[in-house]
Structure 1
């Protein structure tokens, strides 16, 4: 079963993180990514730009109509997401709880109910 694991954040949170601790935090996250890529349970790990870079795309008269985003007016936004492929929900829980920041920030876990057959 596939799962989407998400981490939320905001610009104030990132700015409050001591600059000298970023290299170690990134190294811990990369070690986590490598560990679960090797087991085949991590299909992808993606960090997103700040919410100020988000854009909204609609179609107007057959062409893209683009405005600045994000869509939701919120203090927190999705900062990273991970695509997992686990044999059980319990295993997905274990992998999400093993994320380096899971001791201080929750990881949101969503089951993926449908996948286009072309993605196999």
Structure 2
């Protein structure tokens, strides 16, 4: 079964960490990717740009409009994800616990099963 391990980022939390802890996060993500690739559970991953670099497209009365945004009310935003293919939900939880973000106060890793996918 495929699970999305969702990284919800709070830049204020990350900025408050000492530089060595910030560097350890990157190294921890690389170690995590090496682990799930070696086990065959890795499917894909993406890191997203911050919301300030995004835009929103809306079509009203057949006319598309592009605006800055989204403007989120929360300090947290979707920063990226890992898509893993594992034997069970429990295994997805085990993997999520290996991601450095899970060990940082104010952050976490959301685990969500894939209901439907086409082409993955």
- On whether the aligned pair clears a TM of 0.5, the verdict is yes
Alignment partner, residue 6 of structure 2: 6
Gap runs ≥5 in structure 1: none
- Give the CA RMSD over aligned residues: 1.9
Q: TM-score, normalised by structure 2?
A: 0.83
CA distance in structure 1 between the partners assigned to 2:63 and 2:39 by the alignment: 43
Partners of 1:3 and 1:92 within 8 A in 2: yes
Alignment partner, residue 98 of structure 1: 98
Which stretch of structure 1 is more off in the superposition, 21-30 or 106-115? 21-30
Q: 1:20 to 1:65 in 2, by over 3 A?
A: same
Distance apart, 1:67 and its partner CA? 1.0
Q: TM-score, normalised by structure 1?
A: 0.83
CA distance in structure 2 between the partners assigned to 1:82 and 1:63 by the alignment: 35
CA distance in structure 1 between the partners assigned to 2:101 and 2:72 by the alignment: 24
Distance apart, 1:10 and its partner CA? 2.4
User: Within 5 A, what are the aligned runs for 1:31-110?
Assistant: 31-60=31-60, 62=62, 64-70=64-70, 72-104=72-104, 105-110=107-112
Partners of 2:14 and 2:22 within 8 A in 1: no
Partners of 2:7 and 2:78 within 8 A in 1: yes
Which stretch of structure 1 is more off in the superposition, 11-20 or 30-39? 11-20
